[in-house]
């Protein structure tokens, strides 16, 4: 598949099936939990289209799913954002939050490269974050700014479903989509690719 390069998107405009697997794909949603998620997501989309922020969508979705306890897995660099999010969500749900530096494990314990050549630099602990929220019995976990790779480990080890509210981009003020609207960044990234090829 190469949908990103497709110019007509007939799947969207005319319900075209380019895969020939519509029947098989439809049955993937037969699972009760998947069906509930699809129903709640569709309702939030239809009822709040272009009127709700992502945080409001998170609240509405979680209510429709009947979630009572939400977990926030956040990067220490996004502690302020996580604090504000927790204060907002606590108006509706029980909230557990866990920082990426939980347990204070040193990078030297794993022989990991450090950012500042500091021998006492603490690892990000996404598996530990998932373990803490698993023990707390959260219904849904929300990622706030976890590093690339750490978000993957957190999601893989989370017992509850995971959604990402915010991603980290240290260069573009946590807005990685910024490159799509900047011809200068696009040129720079494509030029790097051409040099390395």
Domain spans of the chain, in order of start: 13-192
What's the pLDDT at 196?
Answer: 64
Distance CA 50, CA 29 (A): 26
0.85 cut: is pTM over it? yes
Q: Are 108 and 134 in contact (CB under 8 A)?
A: no
Query: From residue 136, how far is each of 53, 77, 130 by CA, in Å?
Result: 27, 23, 10
Using only C-alpha atoms, the chain has a radius of gyration, in whole angstroms, of 20
Any idea which architecture 13-192 has in CATH?
3-Layer(aba) Sandwich (3.40)
Distance CA 154, CA 146 (A): 9
Distance CA 187, CA 180 (A): 11
Distance CA 152, CA 139 (A): 19
178 — pLDDT class (breaks 50, 70, 90):
very high
More confidently predicted of 157 and 113: 157
What's the pLDDT at 20?
Answer: 92
């Amino acid at each position: 598949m190469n949908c990103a390069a497709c110019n007509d998107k007939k799947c969207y405009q005319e319900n075209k099936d380019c895969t020939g697997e519509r029947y098989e794909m439809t049955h993937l949603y037969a699972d009760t939990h998947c069906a509930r998620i699809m129903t709640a997501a569709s309702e939030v989309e239809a009822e709040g289209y272009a009127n709700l922020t992502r945080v409001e969508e998170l609240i509405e979705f979680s209510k429709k799913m009947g979630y009572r306890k939400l977990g926030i897995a956040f990067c220490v660099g996004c502690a302020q954002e996580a604090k504000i999010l927790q204060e907002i969500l606590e108006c509706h749900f029980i909230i557990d939050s866990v920082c990426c530096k939980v347990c204070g494990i040193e990078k030297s314990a794993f022989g990991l490269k450090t950012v500042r050549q500091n021998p006492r630099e603490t690892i990000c602990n996404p598996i530990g974050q998932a373990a803490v929220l698993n023990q707390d019995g959260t219904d849904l976990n929300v990622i706030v700014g976890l590093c690339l790779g750490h978000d993957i480990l957190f999601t893989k080890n989370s017992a509850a479903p995971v959604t990402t509210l915010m991603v980290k981009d240290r260069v573009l003020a946590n807005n990685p989509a910024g490159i799509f609207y900047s011809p200068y960044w696009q040129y720079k990234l494509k030029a790097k690719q051409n040099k390395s090829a």
